[in-house]
Chain A
């Protein structure tokens, strides 16, 4: 098997693992939420979520019918071979996963409203590239659900409002989103850069495992504060009321233009799917998120 074939095989496996098996940190957080909820409606919702996760694993079915838009985050070692062929391999893997897992065909031409039928199309699957030193290739897949995507938002706040403005915008956005992004959600926040950079950072922040503190103490404190505030809102699981509205708030930032303070909020639904693997130059593979899962 050539290295490009390995990439395709690994990408296929990652999509399959991601859509069927939720990461351990997400499952643990949902279980904890179930134990801590006191309202009957909230408990019923979380029970259904936990039962559903178990059934998905048992029957090897996608955990949610919306298997998302397939997004890849690639960290490519500059010396990794055949980098020009990776994109093709990822597209092939997406097509194969659509047929074999199966995934729901979720890729629609905005002009004709025609569904391509195989989860591919112009810029889809979307690939985020980062070049790093070395000769390995790290692939992360995030099948991103449409319901939570619809609630993502970026805006430029008045720079004079500073972090207070950020807090207000985040809380306001969570309130506005209400039941729609399938709470309990993970909330990603991106600050600074330009509007495009802010939303990119917010979305990427969704990939950080839950309950891993932000290495930046200022961000860590802000994350904690927003997490606690969000869970006092009372939106609750599926918006039927309760104390679990978010499972985590993850923040990242870029420096900003003096006159401009973009802030972006991205949501991931409770079915916060992601899977990662590292491919070495010799073709060996290390699965990072789904060890012991076939």
Chain B
């Protein structure tokens, strides 16, 4: 289990070195995207329109932040991760077409995303759910915001971060998925527990 300090843009080669259970910290550009931003980005792709920011080598953060405007500057008040499975619908296309290298979120992602990560070279990094102030403190500035018409939580927030983490690599680019491993164990435990509390013979 290694500890890695990554700087954006992150190359495919760098990301391929990472394995589940590694800890990473990211310095550089992190872009938030939730359901609606994912949907809109893929619409842009189908229509042949360019995204407002080139995402290649960057980290996507499943997060709807709490922000405050101070003068003409945005300040991040709280920025913890949101549940990633909702983005399973979109993420394989996202990784394939926009070449993002790290997806940051909570709760893990499914088979489809795991396969895309193996194929195109990306990792899923788990951030403690709800640890919003801890995360906000690692965000040094807001470089920009796009698609604010989607609402504050759904917009694309472009953050400049310094040592953003600790993040646990929970899906690597070699087909390993920590959440699926835990799930398997939980199913085994469940059978034992059912016996213990008299639900099965």
Q: A168-B194, A180-B83, A240-B170 are in contact. Are A64 and B106 (CB under 8 A)?
A: no
From B129, B151, B189, contact of A234 by CB (8 A): B189
CA distance in complex: A147, B34 (Å): 13
* A105, B151: Cβ atoms closer than 8 Å: yes
CA distance in complex: A65, B66 (Å): 6
Total count of chain A residues near the partner, CB < 8 A: 54
From B107, B132, B199, contact of A63 by CB (8 A): B132
B168 in the interface (beta carbon within 8 A): yes
Q: A235-B182, A238-B126 are in contact. Are A48 and B131 (CB under 8 A)?
A: yes
* B128, A238: Cβ atoms closer than 8 Å: yes
What are the residues of chain A within 8 A of B197 when measuring CB–CB?
Answer: 167, 225, 229
* B134, A238: Cβ atoms closer than 8 Å: no
* A233, B189: Cβ atoms closer than 8 Å: yes
* A269, B199: Cβ atoms closer than 8 Å: no
* B190, A171: Cβ atoms closer than 8 Å: yes
CA distance in complex: A235, B186 (Å): 6
* A179, B106: Cβ atoms closer than 8 Å: yes
* A270, B130: Cβ atoms closer than 8 Å: yes
B85 in the interface (beta carbon within 8 A): yes
What are the residues of chain A within 8 A of B193 when measuring CB–CB?
Answer: 171, 229, 232-233
Q: A61-B133, A102-B68 are in contact. Are A108 and B151 (CB under 8 A)?
A: yes
What are the residues of chain A within 8 A of B36 when measuring CB–CB?
Answer: 113
What are the residues of chain A within 8 A of B128 when measuring CB–CB?
Answer: 45, 48-49, 52, 238
> Beta-carbon contacts of B138-151 to A below 8 Å, as 1s and 0s?
00000000000001
CA distance in complex: A260, B49 (Å): 54
CA distance in complex: A113, B37 (Å): 13
* A62, B189: Cβ atoms closer than 8 Å: no
**Main DSSP-derived SS at the A contact region:** loop
Q: Determine which residue in B106, B107, B170 has the highest number of CB atoms from chain A within 10 A of its CB, and name it.
A: B107
A55 in the interface (beta carbon within 8 A): yes
* A65, B107: Cβ atoms closer than 8 Å: no
Residue of A nearest to B81 (CB): A65
Interface hits, B109-134 → A, CB 8 Å: 126, 128-134
Total count of chain B residues near the partner, CB < 8 A: 50
How far does the Cβ of B16 sit from chain A's closest Cβ, in whole Å?
23
What are the residues of chain A within 8 A of B186 when measuring CB–CB?
Answer: 175, 178, 233-235
How far does the Cβ of B98 sit from chain A's closest Cβ, in whole Å?
23
How far does the Cβ of B30 sit from chain A's closest Cβ, in whole Å?
14
B7-15, B72-80, B89-97: which lies at the A interface? Answer: B72-80
B65 in the interface (beta carbon within 8 A): yes
A106 in the interface (beta carbon within 8 A): yes
How far does the Cβ of A239 sit from chain B's closest Cβ, in whole Å?
6
B179 in the interface (beta carbon within 8 A): yes
* A240, B130: Cβ atoms closer than 8 Å: no
* A51, B134: Cβ atoms closer than 8 Å: yes
What are the residues of chain A within 8 A of B151 when measuring CB–CB?
Answer: 105, 108, 114-115, 117
How far does the Cβ of B187 sit from chain A's closest Cβ, in whole Å?
7
* A232, B189: Cβ atoms closer than 8 Å: yes
CA distance in complex: A130, B62 (Å): 38
What are the residues of chain A within 8 A of B78 when measuring CB–CB?
Answer: 61-65, 67, 104
What are the residues of chain B within 8 A of A55 when measuring CB–CB?
Answer: 133-134, 137
CA distance in complex: A115, B152 (Å): 9
From B85, B129, B178, B196, contact of A269 by CB (8 A): B129
CA distance in complex: A144, B197 (Å): 31
Residue of B nearest to A45 (CB): B128
How far does the Cβ of B72 sit from chain A's closest Cβ, in whole Å?
17
* B77, A61: Cβ atoms closer than 8 Å: yes
CA distance in complex: A101, B189 (Å): 43
What are the residues of chain A within 8 A of B21 when measuring CB–CB?
Answer: 41
The 8 closest A-B pairs by CB, nearest first: A115-B151, A65-B78, A182-B129, A48-B128, A64-B130, A65-B132, A52-B131, A55-B133
Write 5 A-B pairs (CB below 8 A) sorted by A numbering. Answer: A45-B128, A48-B166, A51-B134, A63-B130, A179-B179
| Chain B residues close to A by CB (< 8 Å) | 21, 36, 63-66, 68, 77-80, 82-83, 85, 106-108, 126, 128-134, 136-137, 151-154, 166, 168, 170, 178-179, 182-183, 185-187, 189-190, 192-194, 196-199
Besides the known contacts A48-B131, A167-B197, A179-B179, 5 further A-B residue pairs in the complex with CB atoms under 8 A apart = A52-B128, A63-B78, A182-B106, A241-B185, A270-B129
